[in-house]
Amino acid sequence: MKIENAVALVTGANRGIGLAFARELLARGARKVYVGARDPAAVTQSGVQALRLDVTKSEDVSSAAALASDVTLVINNAGIAQTGGFLAADSEDAARRIFETNFFAVLRVSKAFAPVLKANGGGALLNVLSVASWVNGGELAAYSASKSAAWSLTNALRSELATQKTQVLALHMAYVDTDLTRGFDVPKSSPEEIVKRALDGLESGFDEVLADELTLQVKRGMTAPRPSYLPQAS
């Protein structure tokens, strides 16, 4: 889809990758950008419409879908992460909390906005996933599992929304320089470069964007003799 004149909603867009999406959408000529935030007062970006939207609250999601009835592009960006493996003492609670935001909220927002997108000609849904959809080494165990589940959800939604001509794009990438990765001493992409690649892919009609070299390597390596999702010999 074309961004020029689009009406976009980005969840979790008061900071990080979501904020970079909001800025790039404005730069590409979007007619309106709704910035979803748990606290609308935290939205400092000018030229956008702040919208109270805690994606884990069904009342917020239904109000947003009623209010933002002109939306043609939904970006499911809001997400949380927690380090730790499945054998950690709090792993079940952590997994439930993470899945509530990274999986069930993506489902909730997508369902609420599917009729809005249909009424506005089809439009597009862009789900922010991760290279962690395909690899899980246990450091971010529940997070990675939630992104695998959200990847599967995205693939199902692409099929289900095909009849109403909604483009569904999955965005996968490794580390990006935001608050979420502050504690990780690893190479990181900037939010701006990831967002540009994602929106280039959207405008080119793609179903999937692999936004950095590591993600491309992991995807290519999935059919290697020793697949990339298994522990590699050091």
* Binding interface with ligand NAP (CB under 6 A): 11-12, 14-18, 38-39, 42, 53-56, 77-80, 101, 128, 130, 173, 175-176, 178-181
**Least Cβ distance, residue 214 to ligand NAP (angstroms):** 11
Compute the least distance from the CB of residue 10 to ligand NAP, in Å: 9
- Cβ-count burial 167-194 (b if 16+ within 10 Å, e if not): bbbbbbbbbbbbebeeeeeeebbebeeb
Distance in Å, CB of 90 to ligand NAP, minimum: 18
Q: Which is nearer to ligand NAP, 72 or 77 (CB)?
A: 77
Residue 82 or 164: which CB sits closer to ligand NAP? 82
Minimum separation from the CB atom of position 233 to ligand NAP (A): 26
The Cα 120–Cα 70 span in angstroms is 7
List the strands of the sheet with 124-128, edge to edge.
49-52, 32-37, 7-10, 73-76, 124-128, 167-172, 208-210
> Beta 32-37 vs 7-10: how paired, if at all?
parallel
Q: Contact at 8 Å (CB) between 197 and 169?
A: no
Task: Considering the complex, state which of residue 25 and residue 162 has its C-beta at the smaller distance from ligand NAP.
Answer: 25
Q: 14 or 136, CB closer to ligand NAP?
A: 14
Tokens of 135: 């690899």
Q: Which is nearer to ligand NAP, 176 or 209 (CB)?
A: 176
The rounded distance, in Å, linking the Cα atoms of 86 and 210 is: 27
Nearest distance from residue 25's CB to ligand NAP, in Å? 15
